[in-house]
Amino acid sequence: MSAQLQVHLLPSLVDAGTLQGGVAIVIDVLRATTTIAHAFHAGVTNVYPIADIPGALSLADEFRQSGESVILGGERGGVAVPGFDLGNSPLEYSWDKCQSKMLIFSTTNGTRALLHAKGAERIVTAGFVNFSAVCEILLEEKRPIHFICAGSNGHIALEDTLLAGAFLAALLPHRPVPMNDSARLAWDAFECHGLVLTEALKLSAGGMHLQSIGLGDDIELCAEVDRLMLVPEVRYDGKDRPYLEVGSIGIERRLWPGK
């Protein structure tokens, strides 16, 4: 497919090879990519996304043995993992807990989406919280752009689709290019729900689940546009393991396409 702006509504819908030569924007609004941005804002030096809990625990051991200061964060079923330092609520990631530490992070959907993006030449993570900062780098990109929505346990998620749609609405006036059908759906979703973001997130399946386990307060935080001015970007360490660090900081303009 030759579309230069593609939305993939689930990681499993990314065809093998399609990301090659392109830029992947990984989206898990509720809550992984929101929380990762907050963790960087709170001072973590980098974030290792790890798919499984034993893998996360063993990597933490490895880094601690080499003298690194490490914290473990993440969730399963939305709640904190026993033995981890922090869960997946953005506000848990405070300066006193995070400053100058490495974060090893494992969540149900977002972490896996991030690892699934590995075929792309450049990989960044996005939430509503760092919308304009991500937009700014996308406006400079000439390569095909792929928005990879994490979804929720294999189900397409409204909130991730909405954010992909917001990016399209912001980019298309500057870059009118072919897009795939899922991109049109995402754009439509943003047209319909962009003015009532928090309400849309509350009625999404993911938002309903958070409210049901007492974490409804996280939703407003995840719907906050442009609170943070940083773009987490994937690098590879000496052992070819992907990790995130802050690839750029600072926005020049507010690019949010909503009113």
Binding residue count for a copy of itself, defined by CB under 8 A: 28
Cβ of 206: how many Cβ atoms within 10 Å? 26
- Which residue among 189, 221, 251, 255 contacts a copy of itself (CB under 8 A)? 189
Asked if 9 is part of the footprint of a copy of itself (rule: CB under 8 A), the reply reads: yes
- Which residue among 64, 174, 184, 241 contacts a copy of itself (CB under 8 A)? 184
Instruction: Tell the residue number behind the tokens 């003298």, with chain if given.
Output: 67
Rounded CA-CA distance 25/148 in Å is 6
Q: Which helix (H) or strand (E) holds 236?
A: strand 230-236
Question: Binding string, 151-180, against a copy of itself, x = CB under 8 A?
Answer: -x-xxxxx--x------------------x
Rounded CA-CA distance 174/118 in Å is 27
Q: What is the DSSP-derived secondary structure letter of residue 188?
A: H
Asked if 188 is part of the footprint of a copy of itself (rule: CB under 8 A), the reply reads: yes
Question: Binding string, 112-151, against a copy of itself, x = CB under 8 A?
Answer: ----------------------------------------
Please report how close the Cβ of residue 202 comes to a copy of itself at its closest, in angstroms: 12
Rounded CA-CA distance 229/134 in Å is 9
Q: Which helix (H) or strand (E) holds 102?
A: strand 102-106
Asked if 204 is part of the footprint of a copy of itself (rule: CB under 8 A), the reply reads: yes
Rounded CA-CA distance 63/202 in Å is 38
Nearer of residues 52 and 188 to a copy of itself, judged by Cβ: 188
Is there a contact between 122 and 233 (Cβ–Cβ < 8 Å)?
Answer: yes
Asked if 10 is part of the footprint of a copy of itself (rule: CB under 8 A), the reply reads: yes
Nearer of residues 61 and 191 to a copy of itself, judged by Cβ: 191
User: Which residues, 223 to 252, sit near a copy of itself by CB under 8 A?
Assistant: none
Please report how close the Cβ of residue 245 comes to a copy of itself at its closest, in angstroms: 32
H helix runs in 88-154, sequence order: 95-98, 110-116, 131-140
Please report how close the Cβ of residue 216 comes to a copy of itself at its closest, in angstroms: 17
Asked if 13 is part of the footprint of a copy of itself (rule: CB under 8 A), the reply reads: yes
CB-neighbour burial class of residue 6 (10 A; exposed 0-12, middle 13-18, buried 19+):
buried
Asked if 108 is part of the footprint of a copy of itself (rule: CB under 8 A), the reply reads: no
N-term to C-term CA, the chain: 33
Both tokens assigned to 88: 């997946």
Interface with a copy of itself (CB under 8 A) = 1, 9-10, 12-13, 15, 152, 154-158, 161, 180-182, 184-185, 187-189, 191-193, 203-206
